[in-house]
A and B are shown apart, each in its own frame.
Chain A
């Protein structure tokens, strides 16, 4: 599967812009949503190859979005890879709950856009 389209759900303007800039430079098609509601709607309306999902989002938490997309009887985004990107130190329980439905879980402060792109390329293999 060749990853082409990426949805970034990220409320921090600086961080969002940084990812969007680097991903676009690397040749991906990128959509960016800044709140949880819009993010969920976008994720359901268009089949993205990858979703980068923040946890602490206005309107709707990332955990809730993931639960709706992946937690029900049917996986609503079977062809999409989800990488949770957060700086929030979740409790072990909450983190494990999200990890169950995601393809990756990264601390934003620990990665740079360059590393993020290498992670996405790794998913592509």
Chain B
């Protein structure tokens, strides 16, 4: 069996939501068994991002003021947005925008590993979807850095995966959201 076939995500945890006026923010915390320097590289380097992130970058996100094109992976129509890195303090804080989502990453050294926190704003009805998607991305990231990669799982590919649907339902329940509106064909095909 490949690492990917063996993979089953753990239970939904480490996610919070915050509401500020009409703006919802999803806050995700994950402890990784890897140093902040290693995690920083995975968050900023295009070759690393390609292995785990829900977007591709055409340049490094590691320098303030750089303009980078982000391509959403697996979107049902091409979706490219331009971002400017507004904060990059290696290996601690990284800020940029992904379309109309503000992305703030914080890395704290924790033993030999890293406590990684992501703040991202998100439409209310997509909060559980986002939490489930990032949960799997962080699993993929952790395994990538451990040298046992399972391959990126985003977009329709993630949705078709049974673990995503379970996580989606669990996060929706945790956040007290109504029954999540399942994505279309992809979910029905599995």
Question: Do these two chains interact?
Answer: no
